[in-house]
Structure 1
Amino acid sequence: MTDRSSDSPKFETMAVTHAEQPPHHERAGDVTMPIHLASTYEAGGIDPDVGLEDLDPDENQYLYSRLANPTRHALEQRIAALEGGDYGMAFASGTSAIVATITASVTPGDHVVAFDDLYGGTKTMLKDLFRERLDVAVDFVDARDTDAVSDAVRDETALIWMETPTNPLLRLCDIEAIASVAESVDATLGVDNTFLSPYFQHPLELGADVVVHSTTKYLNGHSDSIGGAVVTDDADLADEIGFLQQVGMGNMLAPFDAFLTLRGLKTLPLRMRQHESNAAEIAAYLDEHEKVSTVYYPGLESHPQYDLAQRQMEGAGGVLSFELDGDLPDVERFVAELNEFPLAVSLGGVESLIEHPASMTHAPLTPEERAEIGISDSLLRVSVGVEHPKDLIADLESAFDAIE
C-alpha cells in the first residue's frame, strides 16, 4: 500500500508528478509524459530464459503495447499511488474495468452480494451477464444496513460489490463494517469509488480489497476521454485482473486516452475542491426551495447518513440529486429551460450537467425495479461543475420560474 505518512509526497504532489519521468524519456527531458503510440517495441535480443512475465515496465522493458505501454503504465502507477494501492490497471472503459474485476473474483457457482442502488449498467451486467449467462448467483440488498449484507452472505459468497455514494440516490454504505463481513466469509470486497475519487475517499484504507473507477469522470475531468481503472493491494487478484486486461479480454486503455487522463489528474485536487464547494452551495439552495421535495447530498446535515459521511469521507463530492415537486411534464419544462446544465449523462467534468435517471442512466431497469430502489420520474441528478456558483443558481432559478 502506498505510504501516506508525513514524510511521503502529499496527494497534490503525486497527482502532478508521480511516474511523470520514468527512465525511458529522461534523455529527451520531457516535463510531461509523452504519448507513446508504438504498437510494438524492439527486443534487445533473443533470450529463451526470459518470458513475458519477466518483462518489467518499471525497467523500460516493453514488447507489445497491448501488454504494456509507457504512457498507460505511467497512468496506472499514478492512479495506484493516489488510491494508496500497489497495483493499478487501466481499461478502455469503467464498465470493462468492472467486468474484469468481477470476472477475476468469481467462478460459476459462486455468489455475489451487491448494493441494490448501483449504476444501472452495473446492475444490468450483474443480472444479465453474470447471473443469466455465467451461472453466478447475485443478490441485491440495501447495503445502508450492514446487517442486510451480513444476512445475505453465504458459504458460496465470493464477492461483495459496493458503490458509495451510489448513483443516483447518493446512499452510503459503511466500507469498514462491510469489509469485516467480507473477511468473515473470505470474500473479496470491491468498491466503485468513481463518485468521490481518491481525493475524498480511500476504500483500501477502510478494508476494501479492490477499487474501481470510471476514469471518464473525475480522474480525467474534461469529458473528452473514456476509460476505467482498477487498483488493489492483492498480488494474486492483480495477476488475475492483469491477465484479463492484457490477454483474456485484451481490453486496455489507449495511449492517447492515458495521456489525457494523466493531464487531467494534475488538476484533480483543485477541481474536486471546487466541485464540492459549488455542490454544497447548490444543495443548500435546493434544500430551501419550495419546488423541491427532497435533496440527496451527503454534505447536507439532513442526509440520513451524514454522520457516516463525516467519518468515512473527506468531502461530499460534486454530485447531488433532487426530487422536483411536480410531474414528468414539469421535469421536461425544467430541463428545457436550463442553459448552464446541458441534459446529458456522465459526470465529473468541469462543466455542469443534469440528467434524468429514469429515462437515461437507469432506463435499462424496469419501472418496477426503479420504483423499488426509489428512482421516480421526478428525480434529477446534477453533476456540479466548476463554474461560478451564482451563475449556476441563477440558471436553476430561471428553470424553476418556468414551471411555476
Structure 2
Amino acid sequence: MTGFATQQLHAGSPTAHVTPRALPIYLTAGFVLDDFDSAVNHFSTGDGYSYTRVANPTAEAVEQRVAVLEGGAEALLVGSGQAALAVTMLGLLRSGEHLISASSIYEGSRGFFVENLTRLGVETDFVDEANEPAAWERLIRPTTRALFAESITNPKNEVLDISAIAAVAHKHGIPLIVDSTLATPFLVRPLEHGADIVIHSASKFFAGHGAVLGGVIVDNDTERIAYFRDSVALRFGPTPSPLNAFLINQGLETLSLRVERQSENALGIARWLEQQPEVQSVDYPGLESNPFYALAQHYMPNGQGSVFSFTLGGGVDAARSFINALDVFTHMTHLGDVRSLVLHLATTSHNLRTDEQLEKAGIWPGTLRLSIGIEYLPDLIDDLDRGLSAIRRGSAAAG
C-alpha cells in the first residue's frame, strides 16, 4: 500500500483510450516518455511529445486547421499576434539587414520595427503608396530580406494589391509577409496571390469572443517554418496555453459565419454613415465611392471586412460626445469581436504620434475606428444615431 502523499499524485491517472468529438485540452507542461528508447527516439527525430514549449497536441490541431484554411503547408501557433510578428522577423532578419514595410500598419507592428528591430541592428523603411510596385522597388537594397504589409490595413481599411507587391518581392528573391488578421482566410488567402508568409493575431477573428490571446504564422516553405519553430519560438518561448489553443479552435469552427455577418453589418453601417451630415468621410472599401473598391471586389468578393474608420467633422469634442452616448458599441481597444467596438485613435492607440504623423496616416481629431460585430444591424445603426444625436445636441447648446 502506497502512502497518502504518493496516492494524491498518482491514483486515478487516466489510462483508457477514448475518442472525444471536441478537441481535447492537453493542459500539461510535459508528457510521459513511454520508455528509455522512446525518449531517445523523440529527442533524435522530434516525433511525439515531451514538453509543451516544444509541441502540444491541442496547439498542433489548431496549427493544422489554420494551415488548411490558409492553403499553406504548415502553421505555427504562438502566444499572441505580436509574438507571431516577432518570431517571423527574428527568423528572417539579422543585424545589418533591412526590412521594407507599408506605412499603414498596426501601431504595435510599427513600434516593433522602429524601436525593437532598430536596437538589434535592423533598419526599416516605410512605403506610403503600398500598391505602387515602383515605390517598393526604389527602397530595395542588397541587404533587404523581407517586405511586409497588411491585406486590409488597420485602421484605414486599405486593400493591398497582393499579387503586384509579391511580384516585386520575388523579382529580388525576397519573401512577402502579409498580416491578414483583418481579412481572415474566409475573405482572402494571401498565399494564393503570391505572398510567402501569412501571420494573424488569433486573438481577433479566429478566437472571436475577445477572451484569449494567440498568434499564427503560416508558410509554404516547410524548412523556413521549421526554423521559426525550432530555433526562434522554441528559444524565445512565446508558448500558447493549450486552453487558449482550444478556445481559438472553438472560434475557428464558426469563423465563416461570424465574418460573413460582420462584413454584411459593416457594409450596411458604412453606407448609413456615408449619408450622415456629421460624418466627413468613411474609409470602407465595400463602398463604391472608396478608392480601394475595385481591389476589394477582386480580392474579397465575399465581403470587405468589418474593421474600418470614419471621421466626424467636429473633432475631438464630437468624438467624445459620440462615444459617451453609445450603449451597444463597447468602448475598448480590441478587434474582431462578436460585439461591436469603438475607439478614438488619436488619443489612444496612436497617442504617441505627432500631429504631422497622424495627418500623414489619415487620422484626424474626429477619426474613430469601428470593429463591427454580429448584433442586429438596426440596433447598431440606432446606437450610432444616438451618438450623432449627442453631437447635434452639443452643437445646439453651443450655438
| Fold shared by both chains (TM-score > 0.5) | yes
> Does residue 91 of the first structure (1) align with residue 78 of the second (2)?
yes
Structure 2: state its 5+ residue gaps: 1-14, 393-399
> Does residue 172 of the first structure (1) align with residue 163 of the second (2)?
no
Displacement of 1:303 in angstroms is 1.1
Q: Which residue of 1 aligns with 2:323?
A: 335
Q: Which residue of 2 aligns with 1:135?
A: 121
Displacement of 1:245 in angstroms is 5.2
SS in 1 for 2:96: coil
Map residues 17-166 of structure 1 onto 2, 5 A cutoff. 27-47=17-37, 50=41, 52=43, 54-56=45-47, 61-131=48-118, 133-142=119-128, 143-166=130-153
Closer, same or farther: CA 179–402 of 1 in aligned 2, 3 Å: same
Map residues 6-21 of structure 1 onto 2, 5 A cutoff. none
Residues of 2 paired with 1:174 and 1:385: CA distance? 26
Contact preservation (8 Å) 2:90, 2:232: no
> Does residue 305 of the first structure (1) align with residue 292 of the second (2)?
yes
Residues of 1 paired with 2:57 and 2:161: CA distance? 37
Contact preservation (8 Å) 2:91, 2:232: no
Displacement of 1:346 in angstroms is 1.0
Deviations 1:215-245 (A, max 9, x none): 0100000000111110001122102210245
Displacement of 1:66 in angstroms is 0.8
Residues of 2 paired with 1:226 and 1:337: CA distance? 30
Displacement of 1:367 in angstroms is 3.0
Displacement of 1:184 in angstroms is 1.3
- In structure 1, which of residues 368, 372, 375 is the aligned counterpart of residue 360 of structure 2? 372
The one-letter code matched in structure 2 to 1:37 is L
Contact preservation (8 Å) 2:131, 2:164: no
- In structure 2, which of residues 359, 378, 396 is the aligned counterpart of residue 390 of structure 1? 378
SS in 1 for 2:36: coil
Residues of 1 paired with 2:355 and 2:202: CA distance? 29
The alignment yields a C-alpha RMSD, in angstroms, of: 1.7
- In structure 2, which of residues 313, 330, 347 is the aligned counterpart of residue 359 of structure 1? 347
Contact preservation (8 Å) 1:144, 1:171: no
Q: Which residue of 1 aligns with 2:270?
A: 283
SS in 1 for 2:193: coil
Displacement of 1:51 in angstroms is 5.0
Q: Which residue of 1 aligns with 2:206?
A: 219
Residues of 1 paired with 2:374 and 2:231: CA distance? 36
Displacement of 1:330 in angstroms is 1.0
Residues of 2 paired with 1:303 and 1:177: CA distance? 20
Contact preservation (8 Å) 1:244, 1:250: no
Deviations 1:359-399 (A, max 9, x none): 22222433332222211121101000000000000011111
Contact preservation (8 Å) 2:72, 2:218: yes
Which segment is superposed worse, 64-73 or 141-150?
A: 141-150
- In structure 2, which of residues 251, 256, 267 is the aligned counterpart of residue 264 of structure 1? 251
Contact preservation (8 Å) 2:70, 2:191: yes
Contact preservation (8 Å) 1:158, 1:188: yes
Residues of 2 paired with 1:268 and 1:125: CA distance? 28
The percent identity for this pair of structures is: 36
Contact preservation (8 Å) 1:110, 1:136: yes
Contact preservation (8 Å) 1:154, 1:185: no
The one-letter code matched in structure 1 to 2:386 is S
The one-letter code matched in structure 1 to 2:307 is V
Contact preservation (8 Å) 2:266, 2:305: yes
Contact preservation (8 Å) 2:315, 2:364: no
Deviations 1:17-68 (A, max 9, x none): xxxxxxxx99412110111112111112223863536123xxxx11111101
Deviations 1:158-192 (A, max 9, x none): 00010121111111221111111111111111000
Closer, same or farther: CA 299–52 of 1 in aligned 2, 3 Å: farther
The one-letter code matched in structure 1 to 2:275 is E
- Higher Rg: 2
Contact preservation (8 Å) 1:245, 1:251: no
Q: Which residue of 1 aligns with 2:369?
A: 381
Deviations 1:299-328 (A, max 9, x none): 111110111111122320111210111121
Normalized against structure 2, the TM-score is what?
Answer: 0.91
Q: Which residue of 2 aligns with 1:14?
A: none
